[in-house]
Amino acid sequence: MLGRQQNVARPELKDMVLEASRALAHLDADRLEELAVSCDALNREQVHADAESRVRLAREASGSRQQMAFLACVLEATRANLRVLRQLSGMQNGRLEYVPRAGKN
């Protein structure tokens, strides 16, 4: 069964990260959920992967460094936006209170 799964073509990590960034930027929750499932499958695949498969994924990860950094920036901006939206919601509901900042934004 595992051999059959390894023959199934999967998108390259670089492409998955780029698509995740785009989906997040467009707030495409359905596609983000699909990508999360793909990432879970990729993680499970690595548990049983042979040395060659692990080396191949390591190369993909190295080649995806810029895209991963971009996704990290998009995630951080999304977190900051979520904090602002929660504050605004609190203000509208009369629950305005001081919340100390932890780190950036």
- pLDDT per 10-residue tile (average), the chain, 105 residues: 54 83 80 88 89 90 90 87 81 66 57
| 97 within a domain of the structure (yes/no) | no
Q: Which amino acid is at 28?
A: D
How far apart (Å, rounded) are the C-alpha atoms in residues 93 and 84? 14
- The whole-number pLDDT of residue 1 equals 42
- Coil/strand/helix, residue 28: coil
> Would you say residue 103 lies in a domain?
no
Q: Is residue 80 part of a domain?
A: yes
Give me 96's structure tokens.
């305005």
* Helical H segments across the chain, by residue range: 2-7, 13-25, 29-47, 51-63, 65-92
Q: Is residue 71 part of a domain?
A: yes
Looking at the domain assignment, is residue 98 inside a domain?
Answer: no
CA angle at 88 for the pair 84 and 29, rounded to the nearest 5°: 60
Q: Quote the pLDDT of residue 97.
A: 58
pLDDT value of position 75: 85
**What is the reported pLDDT for 99?**
59
Range of the domain at 38: 2-92
In a domain, 100, yes or no: no
Instruction: Give the predicted TM-score (pTM) of the model.
Output: 0.54
Please indicate, yes or no, if residue 52 is contained in any of the structural domains: yes
**Count of structural domains within the chain:** 1
Nearest to 57, CA basis, from 69, 43, 70 = 43
